[in-house]
Amino acid sequence: MQLAIRPYRIVLFGLALFLGGSLFAQSDEEVTFELKLSKEKLGINERLRVEFVMNKDGDNFNPPSFDGFQVIMGPSQSISSSWINGKRSFSKSYSYILKPIRQGSFTLGQATIEIAKETYKTLPKKVIITAAVDNPNAPKTADDVAEESLYLVAEVSKTTPFLNEAVSVIYKLYISPDISVTNFRPLDSPKYNNFWSQDIPVTKYNTQNETFNGKPYRSVVLKRVVLYPQKSGKLYIEPLSLEVYVDVPTNRRDFFGGRIYTQASKTVSAGKRSLNVRSLPEAGKPLGFGGAVGEFDFTVTTSKTSLNASESLQAKVQVNGKGNLKLFQLPEPELPSALEVYEPEFDESVRTTATGMQGKVTNNYTIVPSFRGRYPIPSISFSYFNPKTETYTTLNSDEITINVQEGPTDNLTTTPGSTNPQKIPIASGNQFHFIKTQSNLTPIGNSYFFGSKTFYALLLGPLLFIPLIMLYRKKKAAWEADVEGNRLKVANRLAKKFLSAAKKELGNKEGFYIALERALHNYLKAKLKIETSEFSKERILDLFKGKNVDDSVRAQFIELLKNCEMARYSPFTNVQMKDDYDKASRVISKLDKQL
């Protein structure tokens, strides 16, 4: 009897033997897990490709710490499997692109992977980073393309400005047409030491076609800032650094024929820039020059020139134009003492563009005349330096006369013939009368005062007050003996009285410093008997010297006045306001002792 074996069964049997043999061969293959480097020595301007390759699939991959490198890309995972001559080969890898941070010798540590419930480790490898190298023949990676296609430049409008002259700085990114920027983030922002600075917000990033280093580029403005140097000499603008993420085209195409892009990142810096700031010339500098630099107009106006006593008018001292409007003080008018002048209200309408500040600043004075008469407001001078012509200009306001029509006169006068002498009355009738020698007296009854309760109360009552009087005198003597303590208490009460309004405004910068300045002025008016129109730092210092006030107290008082003025355009914190309040309380106390 013969068995018939069908052909398809023979094929299946042979295939089973082949697969079983190959699987057996694969199960006996040794597991490998290796660290491969694109190069073991490279320049700091090159990139390093690191691959962790295994011949069997695994899980829980843990890379080493890449000390001395910045991870530009990764991890990227790839798997390949093939059959060659009946033998199956398998490979899986995790790859990274690293950028060296500094020169030196670095060791890449061990990576780990779990394969068939066992943990495998790579061997550590050493990498040497040298100085930057020229590598024109090597194929360019995506990072190499990004390195050559991005530039951040700080464009400075003037490199030799005058003190307090506007300088515009524009940070512009140049991008090659070969790449496209997907995002960026600032790594650090420059601190403009010795400059007054104002950022100009960039609301929209618009690209323009420009030529840079003789090649076509697209440019985009990322940041604008206006600087006013506050110190002469060589000043530095710190660099702005950004990390920019770009898409770089490759030579590969997708299924539909489109170019495949790979992402890369690059750190760009605008570099440090220096300015040679020129001092304002001393030749021709006016005596009343207050630091204004630019081109300005100056006016002094009043709301009315004719009024009655006790009515009020507004006087406006205004400077408008283009320049450092927030960085100088307005001149103050000198008014007759018969005009009561209140502290001015400062108002500014200034906008900052890429070319500098422009607008107007104003001091509004409230004036109340006390007496009838004609009072002139003398011409006021305002000087500024024009950096275009490099000369000083002085503007003078017109003299204004205030006519007070009705009200009391300054000196008391009497009208002739208005006195009425008093008449001396003349007695009439009998001037001497008869005096009676006999009286009509009546008894008061049995109610005797002596020995009554009222008598003893009035007699013994004062004796009870003697201990109280003695205690009071003792306390008063002790109080009078403590001269220094009494002065301190009085001075503290005086300080609290004048600074009460300022204390209520703590936390509100503008309101606090206006109230503080008014408190200091009101204290001087009360102690030194001077008018508001006499409030100038020079006049106050002269009065303090005449009263033998200590130099330290004088300096502290003037410093407080300067803080009140600077608070109009400088940021002050709550801590600074609290310090200025405490300092004002101490200064008033010390002044009260010495005055």
- State the pLDDT at residue 162: 96
* Residues 148 and 127 occupy one common structural domain: no
* Residues 171 and 226 occupy one common structural domain: yes
The residue count of the chain comes to 595
Burial status of residue 476 (CB atoms within 10 A of its CB: 0-12, 13-18, 19 or more):
exposed
The total domain count for the chain is 4
Q: What is the rounded CA–CA span in Å between residue 401 and residue 585?
A: 40
Q: What is the rounded CA–CA span in Å between residue 198 and residue 131?
A: 39
Burial status of residue 567 (CB atoms within 10 A of its CB: 0-12, 13-18, 19 or more):
buried
Instruction: Give the CATH number of the domain where residue 531 resides.
Output: 1.20.120
Q: What is the rounded CA–CA span in Å between residue 317 and residue 427?
A: 71
Please choose, from the candidates 346, 383, 380, 344, the residue with its C-alpha nearest in 3D space to the C-alpha of residue 362.
346
- State the pLDDT at residue 401: 93
* Residues 309 and 244 occupy one common structural domain: no
Residues 6+ apart with CB under 8 A from 9: none
Residue 585 lies in a domain: yes
The answer to whether the beta carbons of residues 189 and 306 sit under 8 Å apart is no
Instruction: Give the CATH number of the domain where residue 341 resides.
Output: 2.60.40.740
Residue 197 lies in a domain: yes
* Residues 161 and 267 occupy one common structural domain: yes
* Residues 162 and 117 occupy one common structural domain: no
* Residues 226 and 302 occupy one common structural domain: no
Q: What is the rounded CA–CA span in Å between residue 289 and residue 281?
A: 12
The answer to whether the beta carbons of residues 51 and 90 sit under 8 Å apart is no
Q: What is the rounded CA–CA span in Å between residue 290 and residue 208?
A: 42
- State the pLDDT at residue 396: 94
Residues 6+ apart with CB under 8 A from 435: none
Residue 10 lies in a domain: no
- State the pLDDT at residue 43: 87
* Residues 298 and 391 occupy one common structural domain: yes
* Residues 308 and 388 occupy one common structural domain: yes
* Residues 307 and 360 occupy one common structural domain: yes
* Residues 163 and 262 occupy one common structural domain: yes
Residue 351 lies in a domain: yes
Residue 139 lies in a domain: no
Residue 235 belongs to domain spanning: 144-277
Residues 6+ apart with CB under 8 A from 214: none
Domain boundary among 248, 277, 306: 277
Q: What is the pLDDT along the chain (595 residues), one digit of tens a residue?
A: 344 445 445 445 555 554 454 444 444 578 899 999 988 988 888 888 899 998 888 888 999 988 889 888 778 777 777 777 767 778 888 888 888 988 899 999 999 999 888 899 999 999 999 988 765 445 667 777 877 888 999 999 999 999 999 999 999 999 998 888 888 888 877 888 899 999 998 888 888 999 988 889 999 999 999 999 999 999 999 888 888 888 888 777 777 777 787 888 888 888 888 999 999 999 999 988 999 999 999 999 999 999 998 889 999 999 999 999 999 999 999 888 888 899 999 999 999 998 899 999 999 999 999 889 999 999 999 999 999 999 999 999 999 999 998 888 876 433 333 334 433 343 444 444 445 566 666 665 555 566 677 777 777 777 777 888 888 888 777 766 665 555 555 545 656 666 777 777 777 777 788 888 878 877 777 777 665 555 677 778 878 888 788 888 888 888 888 878 777 666 667 777 888 888 888 888 887 777 6
* Residues 300 and 400 occupy one common structural domain: yes
Domain boundary among 383, 404, 425: 404
Q: Which two tokens stand for residue 136?
A: 């024109």
Residue 567 lies in a domain: yes
Residue 441 lies in a domain: no
Which spans in 48-157 are helix H?
142-149
Query: If DSSP codes are grouped into helix, strand and coil, which group holds residue 409?
Result: coil
- State the pLDDT at residue 483: 55
Residue 186 lies in a domain: yes
* Residues 149 and 262 occupy one common structural domain: yes
Domain boundary among 101, 132, 163: 132
